[in-house]
Structure 1
C-alpha cells in the first residue's frame, strides 16, 4: 500500500509539472515590466527626434547651419572661458610691465586700475564667478575668512542688485576685456602732454608715403658713404696739377742733362 501511495504521488507531481505554464526568463520579465515599457518609449521618442532633425536639416539647410553655428559658438565660448588663475596671471603680468617703467612715463589710468586690483587681491576681496559663456570678477566688502559679524551675517551681505556695480572685469573668449582696455598705451603718460597746444596733443598715424620714405632712409643709412661731386672734381683737379708738376720736373731734368 505504501509503495502504491508513493507511485501515485510521483505521477501526480509529473502531471502538475506538465500542466504548469513555462516560466519566462528574467530578461523577458524585465522587458515586459513598466520600467521596460518606459525605456522602450523613451528610445523610440529619441529615435524619432533624431530622424526629424536629419530630415529637417536636409529640407532647410540654412536654418540647420545657423543652429549648428550657434551651438558651435556657444561651445567655443564655454571652452575658451578664462578662469580665476588666468585672471591672476594676467594681473601679475600687467603689474610687472608697469613695474619696469619709470613712474614719470606710466599711464595714470593703467597704473591706478592695476594697483586697485592688486590691493583687493591682497585683501582677499577679489572673487570670481563663472556664468557658463563668460566669467566675472567682482569685489566684496570683506574677506570670506574674516570672523567679523558684518562679514559672516547673511542679512548684512550685499544684495544681488548691487552686483553690476561691483563687477571689475569680464572674461570672454580667453581675454579679460576691461583689463586689456585699461592697459592700452600703458607706457604713455598723458599728463606730460596736457600743457601742449591742442594740435600737438593729437597724433595721427603716418601716411603710406611717409612710411615708404622712412624705410628708404633707414635702408640708405646702412649703405657705404659715397663721395660727392665736388669731392670728385677737387680730386680730379689735384691729379691734373700733380701730373703738370711731374711733367715740369721731368722737362727741367731733361734740360739739365742737355746742358751738361
Structure 2
C-alpha cells in the first residue's frame, strides 16, 4: 500500500513538472514574436542581397563600376540641386550686374529676360518645384496670398499639362541654365550692329599669336618710356650749334684781318 502511494506521488509530480509552463525571458519572447520573426527574415534577405551584390561586383567589375558611377552621379545631383533661395540670389546678382551698365551697352535679350523675372518675383508669381535631381521655376497666375476667387478656386487653376509652357528656368548641378544662357554676352548690345553687313556683325575669335602679341603690347605699355634716341638727336643738334657758334668769331676775325692785310 505504501509502495503504491509512493509510486502515484512520483507519477503526479512528474506530470506536474511536465505540464508546468517554461519561463522565458523578455528577449526570447520578443524574438519569437511575429514582429521578431518578420525582422529576422528581413535582415536575412538583406544579408543575402548584399552577399549577391558583393559576389556580382567581384565577378563583373566593369559593370559594377558603371553602376557605382551612375549612383554616385545621381547622389551628386541630389546634393547640388539648387533651391528657390539660390534662384533669388542668382536673379538679384544678375540684375545688379546689368544695372552697372548703360542702357546703350547692355544686351536687350539679357535685360528683357531679367526684368521679366524681377517683375514676376515682385508680384509673387514665381514658383519653385523640386523634381528629385532637377529644380524648376515656373510662372503662376496669382500670388499665393491673393484672396481673389480665381486664385482660390481649384477648378480655375491651370492644368498640369500647361506646365512646360510656364517653365522659366531649370536648375541642375548647382546652376540655373536658362538664366546663365541669357546672360551670355550681356555687355554687348546687338542692336548697334544690325546696320552692318552679316560678315561684320560677328567677329572671329583671335588666334594664339594675336593673343600673345596683344598681351606683350599690354605689358610694354606699363614700362617707362626710354628717350635714348631723342636724347642723342638733341645732343647732336646741340653739339652742331656749339661748333657753329665757336667758328663764327674766327671767321669774323679773318674777315676783319683781310682788309688790313690788303692795305699793308
TM bin, normalised by shorter chain, reads 0.7 to 0.9
Distance 2:159 2:38 in 1: 45
1:226 aligns with 2:227: yes
1:55 shift after superposition: 0.7
Report the equivalent of 1:140: 140
Structure 2 residue runs without a partner (length 5+)? 1-8, 251-264
Write the deviation string for residues 2-42 of structure 1: whole angstroms up to 9, x where unpaired: xxxxxxxxx99x95864524322222222222222221111
Is 1:131 the counterpart of 2:131? The answer is yes
Q: Distance in 1 between matches of 2:74 and 2:104?
A: 44
Equivalent runs, 1:78-97 vs 2, <5 Å: 78-97=78-97
Distance 1:198 1:159 in 2: 44
SS in 2 for 1:48: helix
SS at match of 1:128: strand
Sort the Cα spacing of 1:21 and 1:152 in 2 relative to 1 into closer, same or farther, 3 A: closer
Deviation, structure 1 residue 46: 0.6
Q: Secondary structure at the match of 2:204?
A: coil
User: Where does residue 256 of structure 1 map in the other structure?
Assistant: none
The CA distance in 2 between the partners of 1:56 and 1:48, in whole Å, is: 12
1:45 matched to which residue of 2? 45
Q: Displacement, 1:204?
A: 1.0
Query: TM-score when scaled to structure 1?
Result: 0.82
Alignment length (residue pairs): 239
Partner of 1:176: 176
Cα root mean square deviation, aligned: 2.7
Give the whole-Å Cα distance in 1 for the aligned partners of 2:189 and 2:217.
30
* Cα distance in 2, alignment partners of residues 61 and 204 from structure 1: 47
Query: Superposition pairs for residues 200-211 of structure 1, below 5 Å?
Result: 200-211=200-211
Q: d(CA) in 1 for partners of 2:234 and 2:123?
A: 78
Could you tell me how far apart the structure 1 residues matched to 2:127 and 2:102 are? Answer: 31
User: Which residue does 1:113 correspond to in 2?
Assistant: 113
Indicate the larger mover: 218-227 or 150-159.
218-227
| Corresponding position of 2:25 | 25
For 1:98, the equivalent position in structure 2 comes to 98
1:193-229 superposed Cα distances (whole Å, 9 cap, x missing partner): 1112223211111122222222222233314323338
Q: 1:33 & 1:214 partners in 2: Cα distance?
A: 82
Counterpart for residue 150 of structure 2? 150
More moved, 102-111 vs 131-140: 102-111
Question: Per the alignment, do residues 18 and 198 of structure 1 end up closer, same or farther by CA in structure 2, a change over 3 Å counting?
Answer: closer
- Provide the secondary structure at the position in 1 that maps to 2:66: helix
